[in-house]
Structure 1
């Protein structure tokens, strides 16, 4: 089993900055999540203290690609495609589009003098947003459960087990 310190696990995704192939164990994913939080918090506090929106957006932008990459590799460890990372977004975009059309229909009805139609449009948009929000939340819970699950033991279609001893671990793990 490959052992690393917490600091090594936190920094490993930065070394594998845009590597979307291979696998990442839970430790790499969750230590990096903690690292991201610990870096983002002072940046946000500094922005609030100075009345700026400068440091937190820069930190967020800098951590975006390694966060996506480690998320994809974590899904690979579970023998799932990295495209699952887009599942909440795939639910959210149509929800907002449908709600926007329903709300726009209500607005047009209101402009044409139909108060009942305007109210129905707003009400149906709210229902669509509520249903879509529940779907997005459900998918987020599923993703959280996956990220907390131990990866596939042994080799899978995305590479060797990151927790197994590798003949040359630097090839796979930095």
Structure 2
């Protein structure tokens, strides 16, 4: 849960790097929230309720995705690969699952090494 809160605190920070753990746990908790709101919306016959978390997590989701791409040494603009049908999302999934670039890169210090030193 702390990784989710950490990503929300940096909701509009597109610079720096995000570890795999931060990225995947953010989207896990966001997905769980979507499911809860969808269930409540279905029970209340108000399916538009799922738009609340979708809008709330749009900017933080983009920011943590860009920081995740930075962590692998790629530009945040690589997120546009997702627009390529079929192949783009697969390429992005590989990038999101890739290990961090060793050491500091042009986007900042490696967050794994910073966590070990702290």
**TM-score past 0.5 threshold:** yes
TM-score w.r.t. the length of structure 2 is 0.92
- Gaps of at least 5 residues in structure 2 are none
1:161 equivalenced with 2:110 (yes/no) = yes
Q: What SS does structure 2 have at the residue aligned with 1:23?
A: coil
Corresponding residue number in structure 2 for 1:73: 67
- The alpha carbon displacement at 1:51 in A equals 1.1
2:10 and 2:51 map into 1 onto residues whose CA distance is 21
1:153 and 1:28 map into 2 onto residues whose CA distance is 17
TM-score w.r.t. the length of structure 1 is 0.64
In angstroms, what is the RMSD of aligned CA positions?
1.5
Corresponding residue number in structure 1 for 2:86: 137
- The alpha carbon displacement at 1:15 in A equals 0.6
2:110 and 2:26 map into 1 onto residues whose CA distance is 19
Corresponding residue number in structure 1 for 2:29: 35
CA contact (8 A) 2:72 2:100 kept: yes
Stretches (4+) displaced over 4 A: none
* Residue in structure 1 matching 2:100, options 125, 130, 151: 151
- Gaps of at least 5 residues in structure 1 are 1-6, 92-135, 170-174
Report how many residues are paired. Answer: 117
Corresponding residue number in structure 2 for 1:26: 20
Corresponding residue number in structure 2 for 1:46: 40
Greater Rg, structure 1 or structure 2?
1
